[in-house]
Amino acid sequence: MEKGKVRFIQNPVIEEPVWKRIIVDSNLPKTLEPLRILSRNLWWVWNTEARELFQYIDAEIWEECEHNPIVLLDRVSYNRYRELEKDEHFLGKMHYAAELFNNYMEARKTLEGPEIAYFSMEYGLHDSLKIFSGGLGILAGDYLKEASDSKVNLVAVGLLYRYGYFKQTLNLHGEQMANYDAQQFSKIPVQPALDAAGNWVSVEVEYPGRTLIARVWQTNVGSVKLYLLDADHHDNSEADRFVTHHLYGGDNENRLKQEMLLGLGGIKALNKLGYNSDVYHCNEGHAAFIGIERIAGLIQNENLTFAEAKEAVSASTVFTTHTPVPAGHDSFHNDMFRHYMNFFPAKLGLVWEEFDMLGKTRKEEDHFNMSYLASNLSHGINGVSMLHGDVSKAVLKDLYKGYMEEELEIGYVTNGVHYPTWAAQEWKDIHKKYFGEEFPSTQLNFDVWKNIYNVPDAEIWELRKKLRQKMINYIKQRFSDNWIKRSENPKLITEVMGKLNPNTLTIGFARRFATYKRAHLLFRNLDNLSKIVNNPDRPVQFIFAGKAHPADKAGQDLIKHIVEVSKMPEFRGKILFVQNYDMNLAKMLLQGVDIWMNTPTRPLEASGTSGEKGVMNGTLHFSVLDGWWVEGYQKNAGWALPAERTYDVQDFQDELDAETIYDILEQEVVPAYYERNSQDIPEKWVGFVKNTIANVAPHFTTGRMIKDYQDRYYNPQFDRSKKVKADSFKLAKELAEWKAKVASKWDAIEVKKIEIIDGITHKMVMGDKYPVRVCVDLNGLTHNEVGLEVVITETEDGGNENIVATLEFEGEKCEGNVCCYKSIVAPDHPGSFSYSFRLFPKHEALPHRQDFKYVKWIS
């Protein structure tokens, strides 16, 4: 009320209500106690025995509460529990599931191998725990489940969001509405994380002029514990409570606050909980602050310098980058970044400028880049598919001047998906029958999957039909509920429902509506599309789903366009857009459709995982050769759009790709599906399904993925980091001291003489030998500390230099500071090459060259 309008002279005295908390426990009788235990560990998500149990209790409530067993158990009536207590069948199932669970947990009481601390901004474990938005999160969620299954000693850290990511509804015009539902933390599988003394753990993070206090929650994912930090409580100001409200919401400043909480707070949380992990895995740059917080800890507790602590921290950190374009990497503007992080350099014994350079390649840059920070503090860096590994080299190359892109020590581990989460129960049954009872614990033996060839065609085709039917029923239900809610014309609903056909070749396309994913491709020529879907003998239907980020207008327009097309008379019931793509819908679609389609602009799909979920269900993949499909595609096991880019102009490329898609559909896909043998089985199609399961699927599980991380990163880094830390960080100190010495002398290193005996002339003869000697004033360093090599390159048509060979020289003799190196250059194939000499620091304990980025090119 405005001043001056106040009419009461005296404020009335109003007693504030005093709320007293009461907790009414659910009715769950003692005999049914195992249900509560099962509901509190996400193990139930990927174990059908437990899932079926909850569904059995009350199928209707189970659907209403969106498969949240905690809510279910609260809502089931006392009478129903009384019935269940007497239901022998149910009790048998319950005890069986409880026994499986107990055995599972018992087998994971003591674990071997290094302890991994895994950090991610999001985790997609189940739709009822809204702390994920899409691919990145679901990957992290799958990874935790696999870590538990594979008995990997892993602990994870993330944020608990009050609202998470949005729920999508579409209005009559196909416009996307974003709804955020608050999560009640008592209704989701989180519990207060307690320290050894039984106190609820909280951590403090410094913000400008104040301290944020975050509570720590614990989620159990089988044997893996996931700790979630939450700022939304009374100890924080209103504004700061917002920090953990939304995933990828708010502005860049809120993102910085979140990342400070995740990185700085996450390490503090693990410390308070008594963890001292061996290897830290930074899933995407969001959590890169873990590196500086750990360095600060070592400086304080072990009395190390920044340089020494950095050796120890980098040795034990793996950084996985998921983003294929520079603009996609998180970065914060200088002014804001300094406002928030100004207090930190002092903890590291650095001045601001030194600290700032951890996130930059040149000091003039106006943003601090989180991927640069993560790269600078991680000895292991990887992309998420073979192609993306190379793409990441291009993205990060500015950090390693003096080295050529292809030389960079950036590897890859191709993403995978968690078999027990994504394979249909019907497939699991077949796999157990033909692959052996132990499956999926034998999933890493790829030969086991070849037993799919022993399954009769009819059995596979029946299964595919069943899953398609199940999916169509589910879609009809979900679709008509939504359409009725938004008051669509009943005639239209009936028409669409009537036309959807469980026997029709069904193609699924569901993903985030980002422009590079090119969902529009299929709609470039509506006449062509209409011809394909309306072929009277061989029809095709498409099911679309996916969200667009609330700030992405182009993505939302695309959804709107698809909805509009789907209402045109010729596309009704042929093109369907189902709203609110979530894990459950993904599962139904990936198991039920015949083809999963993906049409990204290459190479922007770093990996993609949805197609991997499809292939383990015998869903054939049809995609651009990008991300995982570069490695996955095989002839007669799906379809691929060629990798070559024909046009520079994107629009032309899109046109060409669209035509190619129509063509492949009409010429190859449709005939393979509709040509049937005498038993009405499409032999060729089933052959493709078998090839897919035998030869493609086994390579894209999280089982394979976690093994790759162990072999390529965790185990080698653990071994090395033990050495770095041994004897009170002796090697860390040695390396830091040596690097400082080399750095101080490097610039004054000077070439005295390059002696090309017999001459590398403009014309060299293949097979001949050309001895070379190079003498350098090493400024007091030795042969053993400075290597010299010749780098021979070939220039490609496009102007790119490709390395043909590098040849390290042998140290010869030193006179005073001047040391000579010699080698023999012997060309072994003809062509036109360039060569140059390069000096680099050498130490046997370096993990790789780019760990110490000093390079001097000489000529």
Ligand X SMILES: *Cc1c(COP(=O)(O)O)cnc(C)c1O
Binding site for ligand X (CB under 6 A): 134-135, 138, 511, 581-583, 586, 608-610, 613
CA distances from 681 to 458, 471, 686, 691 (A): 7, 20, 8, 16
Residue 338, number of CB atoms within 10 A of its CB: 14
Least CB distance to ligand X at residue 618 (A): 17
772 - beta bridge partners? 756, 823
Q: Which is nearer to ligand X, 202 or 385 (CB)?
A: 385
Maximal C-alpha separation, the chain: 107
Residue 572 contacts residue 492 (beta carbons within 8 Å): yes
CB of 589 to ligand X, least distance (A): 9
Q: How far is the CB of 127 from ligand X (least distance, A)?
A: 8
State which residue, 403 or 581, has the beta carbon closest to ligand X: 581
CB of 592 to ligand X, least distance (A): 14
Nearest approach in angstroms of CB 510 to ligand X is: 7
Point out which residues pair with 216 in neighbouring strands. Answer: 229
Q: How far is the CB of 601 from ligand X (least distance, A)?
A: 14
| C-alpha span between 62 and 75 (Å, rounded) | 10
The C-alpha atoms of residue 613 and residue 598 are separated, in whole angstroms, by 13
Residues with Cβ within 8 Å of 657's Cβ and at least 6 positions away in sequence, in order, are 518, 521, 599, 624, 641
In the complex, the smallest distance separating the C-beta of residue 138 from ligand X, rounded to whole angstroms, is 5
Q: What is the DSSP string of 105-174?
A: HHTTSS--S--EEEE-S---S-TTS----SHHHHHHHHHHHHHHHTT--EEEEEE--SSBSPEEEE-TT-
Which C-beta is closer to ligand X: that of 135 or that of 291? 135
Q: Which residues contact 237 (CB under 8 A, 6 or more apart)?
A: 210
Instruction: Spell out a b/e string for 298-325, using b for 16 or more CB atoms within 10 Å of the CB, else e.
Output: bbeeeebbbbbbbbbbbbbbbbbbbbbe
CB of 583 to ligand X, least distance (A): 5
- Pick between residue 266 and residue 416 the one whose CB is nearest to ligand X: 416
Minimum CB–partner distance for residue 135 and ligand X (Å): 3
Give SS3 for 859.
Answer: coil
From 674, 660, 626, select the one nearest 525 (Cα to Cα). 660
In degrees and rounded to multiples of 5, residue 507 shows phi and psi of -115, 130
Q: Which is nearer to ligand X, 479 or 581 (CB)?
A: 581
Q: What is the DSSP letter of 701?
A: B
Q: What is the CA radius of gyration of the chain?
A: 30
Which pair of tokens denotes residue 828?
Answer: 């072994």
Residue with smaller CB distance to ligand X, 176 or 314: 176
**Any residues with CB less than 8 A from the CB of 382 and at least 6 apart, and which?**
318, 319, 320, 321, 389, 392, 410, 411, 412, 413, 712, 713
Please confirm whether the linkage preceding 440 is cis (ω < 30° from 0).
yes
CA distance 545 to 579: 6
Could you tell me which of 546, 538, 461 has the C-alpha nearest to residue 506?
Answer: 538
**Whether residue 603 has a cis bond before it, omega within 30° of 0:** yes
Quote the least distance from Cβ 608 to ligand X, whole Å: 4
Tell me 649's DSSP state.
S
* Nearest CA among 469, 462, 450, 416 for reference residue 637: 450
Here the tokens at position 597 are 């389609």
Phi, then psi, of 657 in degrees rounded to 5: -65, -40
343, 547, 753, 857 from 819: Cα distances, Å: 46, 63, 10, 17
For ligand X, the closer CB: 222 or 608? 608
| 356 vs 582, beta carbon nearer ligand X | 582
Minimum gap (Å) between residue 124 Cβ and ligand X:
7
Report whether 451 contacts 672 (CB < 8 A): no
> Shortest gap between Cβ of 541 and ligand X (angstroms)?
21
- What angle separates helix 334-341 from helix 252-260, to the nearest 10 degrees? 30
Nearest CB to ligand X, comparing residues 613 and 856: 613
Distance in Å, CB of 366 to ligand X, minimum: 32
Nearer to ligand X, 280 or 700 (CB): 700
User: Are 695 and 621 within 8 A, CB to CB?
Assistant: no
228 DSSP β-pair partners: 158, 217
- Minimum CB separation of residue 181 from ligand X in Å reads 17
H helices of 423-552, in order, are: 425-435, 457-485, 490-499, 526-533
The minimum distance between CB 18 and ligand X, in angstroms, equals 44
Tokens found for residue 557: 């327009």
The angle at the Cα of 83, spanning 82 to 85, to the nearest 5 degrees, equals: 65
Residue at token pair 């249909």: 424
Minimum CB distance to ligand X, residue 744 (Å): 47
Contact 672, 681 (CB under 8 A): no
Please give the angle made by the CA atoms of 636, 638 and 640, to the nearest 5 degrees.
Answer: 110
Query: Least distance in Å: CB of 198 to ligand X?
Result: 38
